[in-house]
Amino acid sequence: MAVQKPSIPKGTRDFSQREMARRNYIFDTIRSVFRLYGFAPIETPAMENLSTLMGKYGEEGDKLLFKILNSGNYLLGVDSEILHDDNINRLTTKISEKGLRYDLTVPFARFVVQHRNELQFPFKRYQMQPVWRADRPQKGRYREFYQCDADVIGSDSLVSEVELLQLIDEVFARFGINIAIKLNNRKVLAGIAEIIGEPERLVDITVAIDKIDKIGIDAVNEELSSKGLAQEAIAALRPILEISGTVDERLEALRKLLASSETGTRGVDELNEVIAMTRDLGLRAQLDLDVSLARGLNYYTGCIIEVKALDVTIGSITGGGRYDNLTGVFGMPGVSGVGISFGADRIYDVLNALDLYPEEATMTTRVMFANFGALEALASLRLMKRLRAQGISTELYPDAVKMKKQLSFASAAGIPFVAMIGDSELADGTVTLKDMIAGEQHTLSHDALIEKLKA
Amino acid sequence: MAVQKPSIPKGTRDFSQREMARRNYIFDTIRSVFRLYGFAPIETPAMENLSTLMGKYGEEGDKLLFKILNSGNYLLGVDSEILHDDNINRLTTKISEKGLRYDLTVPFARFVVQHRNELQFPFKRYQMQPVWRADRPQKGRYREFYQCDADVIGSDSLVSEVELLQLIDEVFARFGINIAIKLNNRKVLAGIAEIIGEPERLVDITVAIDKIDKIGIDAVNEELSSKGLAQEAIAALRPILEISGTVDERLEALRKLLASSETGTRGVDELNEVIAMTRDLGLRAQLDLDVSLARGLNYYTGCIIEVKALDVTIGSITGGGRYDNLTGVFGMPGVSGVGISFGADRIYDVLNALDLYPEEATMTTRVMFANFGALEALASLRLMKRLRAQGISTELYPDAVKMKKQLSFASAAGIPFVAMIGDSELADGTVTLKDMIAGEQHTLSHDALIEKLKA
């Protein structure tokens, strides 16, 4: 066989021990908090039927799905006409029936409907799995990445929003990342479209004002104008976007401006209730109101949540919101839910930038035993068995090579202690322990070694 | 959009909370022991380039790879001639460049070569990720399943075999599964082929005798005969396959029978050394010698390991062995390694059959707070915050519906305690705790509740 230069598909990554330790710290932290809040884990297959995935993420999303070629002779029975059609999509549906998961939300909706008779509602689930998108890879954007989602489905109680905000607060407190949580409500956005006289243009309006942080109010107004929004409407929008003051002052101003809209007023009430309860319970994070927040996702129907890191410039690191009809397309209409999604890759970047990993997130072997030959190795293995029984991770250097080589291996691997049983230790039943950081070494009894490493 | 009846691709599975709890117990147990033995975690992408995967698993394996359709207009530039070729493989290579991981071994070999300059050798890694095979689904065989592998690469010391046997022993001791570990050595098999005068027929011989447990010695002999093996060779093979007695007696008999083969003798020496060391260290599991063991994998060059559950009839639940040239195809020849792979799905079946899951493997919320309305809910959330700070997982029923409904939810979800803050508890700052298993309930102070649930 010819020799191949090994590589991996662009936009994908290998994770080394060091990266895995850090990623596991992130996943373990989020998972612990999910459990603390009573969310139950589920997992779904990497492959879903394309009929489940197609049409759920817009036209652009359909193109970004990784599609799996049918097994066997996939062209069997495919018309020559389809083979030569200018529209390749017809052929694709014939030769591919499955695709890779694009997010965790659609598979979750499919799961809920498929297993509705086995589930207890309200159903609180978390899910932490990779997703795949055939996006153009760029810095911080990958073709395979993890999502960490928690959702409550089957209740429209605002208590769920409050618990999710507490959960977000707890996760980032554990990470030591200072955050601001921005809140909005789709009903407020609908109210705004209504009172400026453009209720039908809700999507155009939210898409445009969602960009206000990036491009400023004038560019937003230009975009709205180019989309054919009336100048009076654009003029009426400006004071709403320019509301200022404390959260309470802004909520109050918004309430007055949206007084004539029933939907808008309901949105303000919901925001008010969520903010009041959350405050009562005490949040470490800054809680902010942002009427421009839409998160581009048209399936949100109530509360919209976005989290930003305060000390690093990076996009949102967590987001979510309430939706009312996620399961409708699978035949289960009118089920309300609310969910959040932690962006593990961006959290990884923030923790790296701020160097916030705890020592446990290095996860190396605690002690390596050096190898001086067959007899010494066996004596080492006997003692290592006792260490492992105490939960102390240990490994034996497999070959009796030069000590310098063995020590530099341990040093490069970041192993903090090297234990040595050579001739003299074998004779008097001791072990010499070298502290790789302090550089000093001591000869100890086996019991003393165990006591020292347990600490 | 039309309503869709939701389903998942055949051979794949959704995992519910209950199944996840059990699977996580399995993965966590194996992971802890991997770490205790100094193995470092890595992960590789789900997708590999097809050039990495093709040709590594035999012709049958190539067919079982899930191939991913190229993005965009994948037919662009594909010759019409190729489109109409009887051999579909030519088209496949044009329209698909990536495939899903088929096992963890080939990606690991690719990883080692690609990152050779960043790694410390000997390199001990573990990897626990799903793999995908377009196999015909059947009971116990899935198209997506997890592998849990540990390998030591870059050393030919038999100490690694010994440590892997200890590791296997520890994992199954933690599970409470009684096992037998069967050992063989490829050099013994080569020695057998040599002394029966058919050194070139090693593969045919090992493939046939590997089936002896299933089909018996006569059927094996028939198969060898049909493959054209000389009758004298088949006759010479019989006494070797019929060796009986204790492990030591059989090793001794084997040594005599293979005395004229240098390779065979080396195999016996290796088995002897591994068994002696392992015995000295004390294994809970039965250690057995099985000269018919080949595991069908032609890349093994030394020790071959297979684990069977003693109390359940099921195939092997763990296997592995030593290989000498896994990385050669990627341009890094002559690197010896030894590895094992735990079959998580079969272990799951064994634990289910023997009902061996510990209580922790249920992983429900510890206490659900009932919901009596807005004020009571807020008081509950305040107390819940204190519980969570103590690591007690808790959730609030989101809606103030009938108590009967809330209690039956908790009961169906297997939540052991329900806490209630209603009118009277709100008035006197107490909480009523219902033990869902014992059926009794008591009114407590908030502090007393925390103390009780911490226990």
CA distance, residue B363 to nearest chain A CA (Å)? 8
Chain B residue whose CA is closest to A4: B330
Question: Could you tell me the two tokens for A152?
Answer: 């409550």
Name residue A77's amino acid.
G
Residues A381, B159: C-beta atoms closer than 8 Å: yes
Any CB–CB contact under 8 A between A299 and chain B? no
Strand B40-41 and strand B123-132: the pairing is parallel
Contact B92 A75 (CB under 8 A): no
Residue A121: strand, helix, or coil? coil
By the 8 A CB rule, do B153 and B337 touch? yes
Over the stretch B169-183, which tens digit does the pLDDT of each residue have?
999 999 999 999 999
Q: Are B436 and B418 in contact (CB under 8 A)?
A: yes
A40 touches chain B (CB under 8 A): yes
Report how far residue B357's alpha carbon sits from residue B361's, in angstroms, rounded to the nearest whole number: 6
Strand partners, A337: A153, A323
Please state, in angstroms and rounded to a whole number, the distance separating the CA atoms of residues B346 and B358: 18
Q: Model confidence at B86, in pLDDT bands (50, 70, 90)?
A: confident
Pairing verdict, β A417-420 and A367-369 = parallel
Residue found by looking up tokens 């003051």 in the block: A245
The verdict on a CB contact (< 8 Å) between A49 and B371 is no
Cα–Cα distance for residue pair B276/A377, rounded to 1 Å? 13
Residues of B in contact with A71 (CB under 8 A): 63-64, 66, 134
Bridge partners (DSSP) of residue A378 are: none
Any CB–CB contact under 8 A between A438 and chain B? no
The answer to whether A120 faces chain B, any CB pair under 8 Å, is yes
For chain A, 455 residues long, the average pLDDT of each consecutive 10-residue run is: 80 94 95 96 97 89 95 89 88 96 95 95 96 91 95 96 97 97 96 94 88 89 92 92 94 96 98 96 94 80 96 92 91 94 94 89 88 96 96 96 97 95 96 96 97 90
Q: Looking at the partner chain, which of A132, A162, A393 has a beta carbon nearest the beta carbon of B38?
A: A393
Nearest to A4 among B46, B83, B329 (CB): B329
Distance in Å, alpha carbon of A360 to nearest chain B alpha carbon: 13
Closest by Cα among B35, B59, B42, B157 to B105: B42
CA distance A169 to A161: 12
Q: Give the burial string for B192-223 (b: 16+ CB within 10 Å, else e).
A: bbbbbebeebbebbbbbbbebeeeeeeebbeb
Separation in Å, CA A101 to CA A48, A88, A156, A185, B230: 6, 22, 27, 28, 54
Residue of A nearest to B13 (CA): A45
For residue A436, the SS3 value is coil
Give the sign of the dihedral formed by CA A78, CA A84, CA A85, CA A86.
positive
Tell me which amino acid residue A238 is.
R
Partner-chain residue, chosen from B163, B331, B393, that has the shortest CB–CB distance to A35: B393
- Structure confidence at residue A455 (pLDDT): 74
Gap from B300 CA to chain A (nearest CA, Å): 18
Q: Does B173 lie at the interface with A, CB-CB under 8 angstroms?
A: no
- Reported in sequence order, the residue ranges of A205-299 that DSSP labels E, i.e. its strands, are 286-289
For the ranges A179-188, B85-94, B186-195, which has the lowest average pLDDT? B85-94
Which residue among B4, B21, B36 sits closest to A51, beta carbon to beta carbon? B4
> Is A46 within 8 Å of B130 when comparing Cβ atoms?
yes
DSSP strands (E only) in B70-156: 96-100, 123-132, 144-153
Q: Which residue of B has its CA nearest to A161?
A: B398
In this structure, are residues A284 and A169 in contact, taking their beta carbons and an 8 Å threshold?
A: yes
Nearest to A398 among B160, B391, B394 (CB): B160
Between chain A and chain B, how many beta carbons pairs sit less than 8 Å apart? 294
pLDDT at B266 (0 to 100): 98
Phi-psi region of A275 (alpha: psi -120 to 50; beta: other; left: phi over 0): alpha
Query: A89 and chain B: CB distance < 8 Å anywhere?
Result: no
Interchain contact, B166 vs A120, CB within 8 Å: no
Q: Which residues pair with A147 in a beta bridge?
A: A129, A343
Of B446, B183, B424, B423, nearest to B433 by C-alpha is B446
State which residue of chain B sits closest to A12, comparing Cα positions. B45
Asked if A92 is an interface residue toward chain B (Cβ–Cβ < 8 A), one would say yes
Edge-to-edge strand ranges of the sheet holding B179-185? B40-41, B123-132, B144-153, B337-343, B318-323, B300-309, B179-185, B286-289
Taking CB atoms and an 8 Å cutoff, what residues of chain B touch A99?
A: none
Q: Which of A10, A13, A14 to probe the B interface (max B CBs under 10 A)?
A: A14
Q: Which helix (H) or strand (E) element contains residue B343?
A: strand B337-343
pLDDT tier, B2 (very low <50, low <70, confident <90, very high otherwise): low
A247-257 and A231-241 helices cross at what angle (nearest 10)? Answer: 150
Q: What angle do CA B264, B268, B269 make, to 5 degrees?
A: 115
If one counts every other C-beta atom within 10 angstroms of the C-beta of residue B170, the result is 22
The values of phi and psi at residue B138, to 5°, are -155, 175
Q: How far apart are CA B238 and CA B218, in angstroms?
A: 10
What residues of B are in contact with residue A72 (Cβ under 8 Å)? 63
pLDDT, greater one: B298 or B403 = B403
Q: Which of B338, B362, B292, B296 is nearest to B168 (CA)?
A: B338
A66 CB within 8 Å of a chain B CB: yes
CA-nearest of A401, A212, A392, A179 to A294 is: A212
The secondary structure of A13-43 as a DSSP string is --B-HHHHHHHHHHHHHHHHHHHHTT-EE-B
Q: Which of A295, A27, A304 is nearest to A181 (CA)?
A: A304
Residues 135-164 in A contacting B (C-alpha not used; CB under 8 Å): 143-144, 152, 155, 157, 159-160, 162-163
Q: How far is B107 from chain A (nearest CA, A)?
A: 9
Q: How far apart are CA B69 and CA B433, in angstroms?
A: 57
Q: Provide the phi-psi class of B329: left if phi over 0, else alpha when psi is between -120 and 50, else beta.
A: alpha
What pTM was estimated for this model as a whole? 0.93
CA dihedral over B412, B414, B417, B421, signed as positive or negative: negative
Question: Is residue B424 less than 8 Å (CB to CB) from chain A?
Answer: no
* Predicted local distance difference test score (pLDDT) of residue A194: 95
Q: Does B246 contact A at CB distance below 8 Å?
A: no
In A265-294, the residues whose Cβ lies within 8 Å of chain B are 277, 280-282
Report the gap between the CA of A317 and the closest CA in chain B (Å): 23
User: Which ranges in B49-102 belong to alpha helices (H)?
Assistant: 50-53, 58-64, 80-83, 88-95
Which chain A residues are within 8 Å of B122, Cβ to Cβ? 397-399
Between positions 320 and 339 of B, the ones with CB within 8 A of A are 328-331
Say whether residue B200 is in contact with chain A using an 8 A CB cutoff. no
**CB within 8 Å: B378 and A277:** yes
Q: Report whether B50 contacts B98 (CB < 8 A).
A: yes
Contact between residue B209 and residue B220 where contact means Cβ atoms under 8 Å apart: yes
Q: State yes or no: pLDDT of B128 exceeds 60.
A: yes
Query: How many angstroms separate the CA atoms of B116 and A211, rounded?
Result: 45
d(CA B57, CA B169): 29
**Amino acid present at A217:** I
What's the rounded Cα separation, in Å, for the pair B270 and A392?
29
* Chain A partners within 8 Å of B277 (Cβ): 378, 381
Q: Do A377 and B280 touch (CB under 8 A)?
A: no
Q: Which residue of A has its CA nearest to B22?
A: A41
> Is the torsion defined by CA of A89, A93, A96, A99 positive or negative?
positive
Those residues whose C-beta lies under 8 Å from the C-beta of residue A21, and which sit 6 or more positions away, are A361, A362, A363, B41
Closest chain A residue by Cα to residue B90? A73
- Tell me whether B178 touches chain A (CB under 8 Å): no
A52 Cβ under 8 Å from any chain B Cβ: yes
